[in-house]
Amino acid sequence: MTGYIIRRILQLLPVLLISSAGIWAMIYAVPGTPIGALVGENATPEQVQAAIQRVGLDQPMLVQFWAWLKSALVGDLGRSIFSRDPVFDLIMGRAPATLQLGLGATLVGLILGIPVAVLSALYPNSWLDRSLSGWSALALGVPTFWLGILLILLFSVELRWLPSASTYVSIFESPWGAIRNTFLPALTLGVYVSGIFARFLRASLLSEMKADYVRTARSKGLKERDVVGRHVFRNALLPFVTVVGLMMAAFIGGTVVTEAVFTYPGIGRLLIQAITQRDYPLIQGVILFILVVHVVINLMVDVLYAYIDPRIEYS
Amino acid sequence: MSEPVLSVRGLEVTFTGGGRPVPAVRGVDFDVYPNEVLGIVGESGSGKSVTSLAVTGLLPETAKVQGSIKLADVEVTTADREVLRQMRGQDVGMIFQDPTTTLNPVFTIGRQVTEGQVAHGQIPAGNARGRGIELLREVDIPDPTGRVVQYPHQFSGGMRQRAVIAMAMAGRPRLIIADEPTTALDVTVQAQVLSVLAKRQADTGAAVILITHDLGVIAEVAHRVAVMYGGRIVETGPVHEIFKRPQHPYTVGLLQSLPRIDAAEERLVPIRGQPPNPARLPTGCTFHPRCPIGRDRERCRTEDPALREVVEGHRSACHCVEEVAALLADTATPARAPATVAPQAAAAQAPLLAVDKLKVHFPIKAGILRRRVGWVRAVDGVSLTVNAGETVGLVGESGCGKTTTGRAIMGLIKATGGSVRFDGQEVTRLSPGELRKARRNMQYIFQDPYSSLNPIKTVGDIVAEPLHIHGIYEEMGGAKRIAELFELVGLPRTVLGRYPREFSGGQKQRIGIARALALQPRLLILDEPVAALDVSIQAQIINLLQDLQKELGLAYLFIAHDLSVVRHISDRVAVMYLGKIIEESEKTTLYETPVHPYTQSLLSAVPVPDPDARHTRRRIVLEGDIPNPSKPPPGCYFHPRCFRASDRCRVEEPAFTPYPGLPTRTACHHAGPLGASS
Ligand SMILES: Nc1ncnc2c1ncn2[C@@H]1O[C@H](COP(=O)(O)OP(=O)(O)OP(=O)(O)O)[C@@H](O)[C@H]1O
Ligand code: SF4
Ligand code: SF4
Ligand SMILES: [Mg+2]
């Protein structure tokens, strides 16, 4: 297994290289440069020229990319055009916050979604199933910014239990502070994703219920709860973890709207800011980070697969 | 007799929901006693499985159940969920058909085998491992301690089914229901599984209901038999009575459509027509449209006969029981058609098909670079000949390379080595265009009549297709030719415009045959052409194939796993094991005097539809499973399972040579008839 993981990581390198080139090309294809914002409206042509040279935009694109790549290979992602801070530090400043929110949201989604799916599958097409399906539809249908504002109105303005503007507090430093600050945004995203989880898992459970081994399990005299909760659930989990992985990766890649509503310091807002300012190194760095997150989560999903399904062997 | 374990009275099951109600079971009565095996036979759709699911209360909610099912003091039809759950596993255990899907792939065998007992509080969860080992040992699984923590995919088919038996018997239930427990298994493995089942029954004294369509298995293990047709039991009685003095025309029909491994019959007597569709059952006696006695009788058309006792313990549902015996006598001496074809006459000339040392190896690829890490030796040196107008049977267990051989001969798969000469022409080196021409004379018929016909074309177009491909549709007579082909295979011209889904399995196989005959081939390669069909339909197709051969002078290479069918249809037979032919001979010699230990074991494992043979036949139950063809054992491939293996066998591969005194060729260092040298 370790060998497999190492090989998978090695296979990543060409993927990252090609995607970096792609991102670079895309950034340049988008009209506009950071220079205007950098030097201000009243700058003289000389000032503009100097700024262009300072940032390195006078070089041919391939040369620029090559320079970036060389330093990226040793972990230096360059500096932000505006703040002059190292891009790596900027990202690392936001990453833990984003990670905490992403994991929190996924957790809330699972806690809400799994029981809904299991109950629905236990009594398919009953009134319970129908009301739960209605609930998932609602969770999916409500826009997150709307739900976020509602939650702020309820928990912060009315009840005054939680702060309306969230800051990042690490769960390792102050668990209580972290929960207070992350709870509302995580709940907002979690409710939404629980709708996706519940629908997907219900469908997956119901299709597994038709399998022959279910009849076998029943014929042994297992309780229906165990037939569904153990035999069926474990098999239905396989396609489900893929979806959970995808959603988690999406959250960790940043959730612009929710971060904005709660003024949460996540990667999503950093990216928006970088894009509006045409802060090329920062855009490149953040997108690279999101890519790595996706790839790592994908790898985790694969490893989880092998753990859930003994037929899968990685060697 | 003691109290019955199970008592079923007036059982009716109707599926509602979606269209018209389907009466799947219509008034079934039976009892099962401790230590007894009740065999239930019947063709597909006769209600066997539905009856067994009703007994365990496992039918879906769309099923309406009426009547009474009394199982160990529980009235199943009215009991609540919890009572039924307690009953399952403790009072009744079930064994299902396909061991590849009946086990949960993500849990260990040990857990699945003991789970029922844990759920019923019979053993504490902490002792499950030990109990699992014990249970696996009881069903003769080697190395139970190592095996108990393995997963189903690490078990072979036969071992999985033994694990399922262990699971069903774990809680020592008083009744075991086995629904086609060996249908998915090879004969040698079937023999192992049946003997394990019998052993466990003897240990526990359970009652067993064995559901199968295989009359051979019934004759071998059942004490009493119930024959089902159209959702009812039409005949029931002790096994000897059923086989020796059947009292219902349907039972007689089943027995007569069965090819026998223990006799050479000229011609089968099939039951006419199709099994009924439960949604549209015939009026009166449901068998009347197919019945040789009652087909035209008013009473049979209007009045459903009751199940009445004919002799003590033997009951039949037929208005005309007295006439059934005559039916039997009638065909006891079947109008033996004189053996018209004389394949020997043709043998003097060069053979039509000559296969020499044919090899097909498939690469095994692994890793990211898909490097080749080994070879699967699917076909590893096969030599055989087929003469004009002759049938050669190719038999062997699953995975031995039969189908690959057939496909390589057709040029559908590239041969790795060896030669295939058809009509003097080397086929393996032909260009694709030449190969297509050669295929006009050589056609292939597939096993599965369901998927081999294009569903969006009319059957007329399907049969005409090969003519169009070769651009000879007009030349061969166009629409008239197509109509002739349909008549040839016994289908009316009126069906030409219909689509495949409107036909039954047997009819689809007829259409497949018509398509293969369109180009007037001289050789047909038939790959398991009757394996998917019910006995009565199988007999119809076998007869058709024999008639066509006589009429058109066709040669057949008949690939099958069913040794009885092969004996019936072939002139010569070749037996394959792990990619090689290990014995080949004239049919009667091969079946009466086999000289290779594998052929001998294979033949002894085939259940014979004669309850008397149970005690007289000698059984060789092979140990173990067929080895992996990518890692064949050294020396003789068969040595790990062979009862004659010597040190020489373990190192030296035997050559395929003529056996003195018989028209046989075999590959064995110690070949010889049974009883002579072993
Ligand atoms: N869940 C179901 N819903 C509707 N009809 C059903 C259902 N299960 C079985 N049937 C119908 O009941 C009839 C009897 O089916 P059953 O499975 O008992 O046949 P069988 O004798 O076991 O046949 P086979 O040899 O093919 O297993 C069939 O026509 C089948 O289509
Ligand atoms: S009742 Fe009539 S139709 Fe039915 S089996 Fe007897 S003779 Fe045949
Ligand atoms: S060669 Fe030896 S091992 Fe092989 S079949 Fe003959 S006796 Fe058995
Ligand atoms: Mg069945």
* pLDDT tens string B256-271: 998 888 777 778 888 9
Instruction: Give the CA dihedral B269, B272, B273, B276, nearest 10 degrees.
Output: -90
Rounded CA-CA distance B572/B579 in Å is 19
Nearest to A220 among B116, B151, B368 (CB): B116
Measured by CA distance, the residue closest to atom 5 of ligand 3 is B668
Which one of B644, B648, B650, B677 would you pick to mutate in the ligand 3 pocket, going by the greatest count of ligand atoms within 8 A of its CB? B644
Question: Between residues A34 and A294, which one has the greater pLDDT?
Answer: A294
3-class DSSP state for residue A79? strand
Residue B368: predicted pLDDT: 54
B136-145 confidence digits (pLDDT tens)? 998 888 889 9
Residue to substitute in B229, B297, B316 for testing ligand 2 pocket (most ligand atoms within 8 angstroms of CB): B297
Range of the domain at A51: 2-87
Torsion angle of C-alpha atoms B585, B587, B591, B593, degrees rounded to 10: -50
ipTM of the modeled complex: 0.80
Question: Is residue A273, in this structure, part of any structural domain at all?
Answer: yes
User: Which residue CA neighbors atom 6 of ligand 3 most closely?
Assistant: B668
Burial of B124: CB neighbours in 10 Å, binned 0-12, 13-18, 19+: exposed
Q: What is the DSSP string of B70-129?
A: EETTEETTT--HHHHHHHHHHTEEEE-S-HHHHS-TTS-HHHHHHHHHHHTTSS-GGGHH
Rounded Cα gap, residues B45 and B210, in angstroms: 16
CA distances from B675 to B163, B590, B597, B644, B672 (A): 34, 16, 11, 12, 9
Say whether residue B153 is in contact with chain A using an 8 A CB cutoff.
Answer: yes
Residues A204 and A70 in one domain: no
Query: Is B96's CB within 8 Å of A215's CB?
Result: yes
Which pLDDT does position B374 carry in this prediction?
A: 76
Same domain, A82 and A99: no
**Tens-place pLDDT, residues B341-383:** 444 444 457 889 999 999 999 887 765 556 677 788 889 889 9
Tokens of A280: 């090329």
pLDDT in the model for residue B107: 94
CATH class of the structural domain B6-229: alpha beta
Contact yes or no for A266/A90 (Cβ under 8 A): no
> Quick check: is A185 in a domain?
yes
Higher local confidence (pLDDT), B274 or B292: B292
CA B64 to centroid of ligand 2, rounded, Å: 28
Average pLDDT over residues B219-235: 95
SS3 B380: strand
Q: What is the CATH number of the domain that holds A219?
A: 1.10.3720.10
Mean pLDDT over each residue of chain B, to the nearest integer: 88
pLDDT for B334: 44
Do A174 and A136 belong to one domain? yes
Å from CA of B213 to ligand 2 middle: 21
Q: What is the pLDDT of residues B604-616, one digit of tens each?
A: 989 888 888 887 7
Exposed, middle or buried: residue A74 (CB in 10 Å: 0-12, 13-18, 19+)? Answer: exposed
Rounded CA-CA distance B413/B420 in Å is: 12
Select from B365, B411, B410, B418 the least CA-distant residue to B579.
B418
Residue B280 near chain A (CB below 8 Å): no
| B122 near A CB under 8 A | no
The domain limits of chain B are: 6-229, 247-330, 586-666
Note whether A50 and A168 are same-domain residues: no
B89 touches chain A (CB under 8 A): yes
Residue B195 has pLDDT above 80, yes or no: yes
Looking at A47, A72, A87, which one is the last position of a domain? A87
Residues B8, B367: Cα–Cα separation, whole Å: 58
Domain boundary among A87, A117, A136: A87
Pocket of ligand 3 (CB under 6 A): B 596-597, 636, 638-639, 642, 644-645, 649, 654, 668-670
Residue type, B471: G
Q: pTM, whole model, 2 decimals?
A: 0.84
What's the CA gap between B532 and B528, in Å, rounded? 8
Q: Give the pLDDT band (50/70/90) at residue B642.
A: very high
Asked whether the predicted pLDDT for residue B338 surpasses 60, the reply is no
In this prediction, residues A46-73 reach a mean pLDDT of 80
Among the candidates A87, A119, A143, a domain finishes at A87
Q: A124 and A199 share a domain?
A: yes
Which of helix, strand or coil describes residue B355? strand
Contacts of A131 (CB under 8 A, 6+ apart): none
Picking from B204, B123, B202, the residue whose alpha carbon sits closest to that of residue B169 is B204
Going from the Cα of B638 to the center of ligand 3, the distance in angstroms, rounded, reads 6
- Tell me what the pLDDT averaged over chain A comes to: 85
Same domain, A157 and A207: yes
Q: Which residues 581-600 of chain B have a CB within 8 Å of chain A? A: none
Record the tokens describing residue B626, joined without a space: 């067929």
> Which pLDDT does position B330 carry in this prediction?
59
Q: B28 CA to middle of ligand 1, Å?
A: 15
Please indicate, yes or no, whether residues A43 and A9 belong to a single structural domain of this protein: yes
The verdict on A149 and A216 lying in the same domain is yes
Our CA angle for B590, B595, B601, nearest 5°, is 85
Q: What is the band of B400 on the pLDDT scale with cuts at 50, 70, 90?
A: confident
Q: Identify which has the larger pLDDT, B8 or A17.
A: B8
Instruction: With respect to residue A177, please indicate whether it lies within any of the assigned structural domains.
Output: yes
How many domains in chain A?
2
The answer to whether residue A31 is domain-embedded is yes
- B40 residue type, one letter: I
pLDDT at residue A164 above 80? no
